[in-house]
Amino acid sequence: MDQSVIQAAELAGSVDAANFSVWGLFIQATWIVKLVMIVLLLASVWSWAIIFEKVWRLRNLERSATSFEDEFWSGGSLDALYEKIGDRPDNPMTAIFTAAMREWRRSSSRGLQRSEMSHASLQQRVERVMQVTLGREMDRLERYMTFLASVGSTAPFVGLFGTVYGIMNSFQSIALTKQTSLAVVAPGIAEALFATALGLVAAIPAVIAYNKISTDLGRYAGRLEAFATEFTAILSRQLEEAE
């Protein structure tokens, strides 16, 4: 039998044996490329978990803030509202409110409004307490955002590393078999491109979600700062009326 016919049959068999499904590409990959794929897959899953948690939490916080603002501006007593919330605020806006009211009541109980502490000093203390509380609450909300940014910026390069390594294996196959047929290099190239695809699958949602959630967090932080400023004005007005 002609040698060229034998080689063609062997190459055709190798093409048929190669599995180009997603699972087949993973199984046939080298252990380094497999490790890259697993890392990218885990990063993608964790990114989606963070995305869903942040979106769900921000929606709940917006609804809670609207409900609290409606009650706050209803004209009722601030002391009654403080007693209703208690020491367990369930969202950042109520946490700012309770922190300010706690400082206000502590100063009032010591009689500092008219004697030892000037009104300006009391107002500064209340403002400082609200700013500290706001910063702490925003730090909690922004937790894991750096992970999304890291995945968005590094996942394509991690996938590219798997791609380069897979292509290097393809060239080694060419050198060992001394064949430049597509049947020799196709499996390795397919594994390499699959690693790149996983890198993009992990990076693209992470980048989009990071930009969207960062914008929403900035808008919510502005809402908290506006509330703190308005609440400071109310307390300042009460201090002037107490003179």
Angle separating helix axes 182-242 and 145-177, nearest 10 degrees: 170
Supply the pLDDT for residue 10.
42
Question: Among candidates 10, 36, 13, which has minimal Cα distance to 25?
Answer: 36
Q: Give residue 9's pLDDT.
A: 37
Which residues of the chain have a pLDDT value below 70? Answer: 1-29, 108-119, 173-175, 177-188, 239-243
Which tokens sit at 166? Answer: 């897979």
Contacts 24+ apart (CB under 8 A), 216-222: 216/58, 217/58, 217/138, 217/141, 217/142, 217/145, 220/58, 220/61, 220/62, 220/65, 220/92, 220/141, 221/134, 221/138
**DSSP state for residue 180 in the 8-state scheme:** -
Closest CA to 159 of 204, 193, 209: 193
Phi then psi for 229, rounded to 5 degrees?
-65, -45
Q: Identify residue 112 by its one-letter amino acid code.
A: L
pLDDT at 4: 39
What pTM was estimated for this model as a whole?
0.78
Write the DSSP symbol of residue 164: H
The secondary structure of 115-140 as a DSSP string is TTS-HHHHHHHHHHHHHHHHHHHHHH
Spans of all domains in the chain = 20-242
Predicted local distance difference test score (pLDDT) of residue 156:
92
Give tens-digit pLDDT for 134-149: 999 999 999 999 999 9
CA-CA distance, 47 to 202, in Å (whole number)? 8
| Each residue's pLDDT tens digit, 150-171 | 999 999 999 888 888 777 777 7
Concatenated DSSP letters of 17-56 = H---SHHHHHHHS-HHHHHHHHHHHHHHHHHHHHHHHHHH
pLDDT computed for residue 22 by the predictor: 57
Q: What is the pLDDT of residue 110?
A: 59
Residue-level pLDDT at 8: 39
Q: How far is C-alpha 110 from the chain's CA centre?
A: 44
